[in-house]
């Protein structure tokens, strides 16, 4: 499931896209203009934003919407975003593991040096 913002000034296009995307189990917000979109983007973190390039009384979409292509694009965009999040999480985890490992090596090295010093002092 993706959280999607549709920015379009035509209610029929908004409704068609919303129904198609919600039917595919996505969560959809609608903005009718630039100012609504900016306000929504400041409040929410969207996985994908679909925007009408020309928002006047004419449609920015000059051809019929291919629902299969749109849904595949949404799925790919969502997957890429999730993979990016997972990658960042794993990088942080790896860095933490490396810091802990370095700390353990330092502690063990210190203990070995102490043992060696005690052993040398006895002999």
Q: Residue ranges per domain, the chain?
A: 3-122
Over residues 76-83, the mean pLDDT reads: 86
Q: Note the pTM of the prediction, 2 decimals.
A: 0.55
CATH architecture type of domain 3-122: 3-Layer(aba) Sandwich (3.40)
Q: What is the rounded end-to-end Cα distance, in angstroms, of the chain?
A: 70
Q: Give the pLDDT confidence of 3-54 residue by residue, as tens digits.
A: 999 999 889 989 999 999 999 899 999 999 888 999 999 999 998 899 887 6
| 117 or 62, higher pLDDT | 117
Let me know: does 35 contact 82? Beta carbons within 8 Å.
no
> CB-side exposure of 50: number of CA atoms within 13 Å?
26
Distance CA 59, CA 43 (A): 27
Arithmetic mean of pLDDT over the chain: 86
């Amino acid at each position: 499931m993706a959280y999607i913002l549709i920015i379009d000034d035509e209610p029929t296009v908004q409704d068609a896209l919303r129904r198609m995307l919600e039917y595919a189990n996505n969560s959809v917000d609608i903005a009718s203009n630039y100012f609504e979109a900016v306000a929504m983007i400041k409040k929410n973190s969207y996985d994908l934003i679909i925007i009408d390039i020309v928002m006047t009384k004419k449609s920015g979409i000059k051809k019929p919407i291919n629902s299969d292509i749109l849904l595949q694009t949404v799925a790919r965009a969502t997957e890429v975003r999730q993979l990016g999040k997972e990658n960042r999480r794993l990088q942080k985890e790896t860095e933490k593991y490396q810091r802990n490992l370095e700390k353990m090596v330092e502690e063990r090295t210190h203990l070995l040096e102490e043992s060696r010093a005690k052993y040398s002092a006895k002999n």
